[in-house]
């Protein structure tokens, strides 16, 4: 878009150069942009709205940027065009999206313009950032060290959310299971938490389970050498809280 003029009420008249996603019914629109835009400049704008009046805020403020020869901006425009081409032409096949440093930041498969099977997004260092298993309803996020961070499974009538430790690989620290009725309303929830803490050297300091806000089962405490120093059995949560 090109901001062509501005006004004291924070709006600007803008000419649309190209639309990547969505539809507009004119190439001249009113944009509620506050003081974000400079008259006569071209911008890549992420915006919400329809017809002739648009606004942007929140993440859109952060993503909107002036068009320039900056490699990051050029690459972003390239990726947007790549996505737009896939959606508009309902393309099928495997695709990779690469950043300005020639690192793959996303890869996956489309079928007639729709995402299918497994999609992965990556940090700038090439480590997997997120994985979306669209076939099995499984969404996973990862820490920058490559360890699993969270995993969420969406089944027909059950949703399971799990959170993992950043310092220890595959160490589950929290889990909640929600059962839903046929209308998608949650009818029951089961909370499970592995309370634990680590010393700076990565050794476990203590570990134990809670359910319903109460300690349950066996809790253990350790010194910074990994040697157990204490142990207590809270049984079903009714003993020794």
Q: State the average pLDDT over residues 117-129.
A: 94
pLDDT level of residue 3 (50, 70, 90 thresholds): very low
Give the containing element (helix H, strand E) for 44.
strand 43-44
Long-range contacts of 72-75 (CB under 8 A, 24+ apart): 72/99, 72/100, 73/44, 74/100, 75/99, 75/100
* Token pair listed for 76: 């972003």
Indicate the pairing of strand 65-66 with strand 53-55: unpaired
- Cα separation, 65 vs 16, in Å, equals 15
Closest CA to 88 of 144, 23, 39: 23
pLDDT at 104 over 60: yes
181-220 pLDDT per residue, tens: 777 777 776 667 777 778 888 788 888 888 767 888 888 9
Q: pLDDT tens, 54-102?
A: 655 555 566 778 889 999 999 999 999 999 999 989 999 999 999 999 9
How far is 217 from 207, CA to CA, in rounded Å? 11
């Amino acid at each position: 878009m090109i901001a062509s003029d501005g006004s004291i009420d924070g709006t600007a008249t803008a000419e649309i150069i190209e639309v990547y996603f969505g539809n507009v019914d004119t190439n001249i629109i009113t944009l509620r942009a506050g003081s974000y835009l400079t008259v006569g400049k071209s911008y890549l704008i992420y915006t919400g709205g329809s017809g002739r009046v648009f606004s942007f805020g929140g993440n859109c403020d952060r993503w909107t940027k002036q068009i320039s020869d900056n490699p990051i901006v050029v690459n972003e425009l390239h990726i947007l065009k790549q996505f737009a081409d896939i959606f508009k032409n309902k393309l099928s096949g495997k695709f990779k999206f690469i950043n300005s440093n020639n690192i793959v930041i996303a890869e996956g498969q489309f079928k007639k313009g729709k995402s299918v099977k497994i999609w992965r997004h990556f940090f700038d260092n090439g480590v997997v950032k997120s994985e979306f298993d669209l076939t099995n309803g499984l969404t996973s996020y990862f820490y920058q060290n490559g360890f699993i961070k969270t995993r969420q499974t969406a089944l027909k009538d059950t949703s399971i959310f799990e959170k993992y430790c950043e310092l220890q690989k595959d160490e589950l620290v929290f889990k909640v299971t929600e059962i839903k009725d046929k209308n998608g309303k949650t009818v029951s929830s089961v909370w499970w938490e592995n309370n634990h803490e680590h010393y700076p050297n990565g050794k476990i300091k203590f570990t134990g389970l809670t359910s319903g806000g109460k300690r349950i089962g066996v809790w253990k405490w350790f010194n910074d050498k990994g040697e157990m120093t204490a142990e207590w059995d809270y049984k079903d949560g009714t003993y020794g809280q």
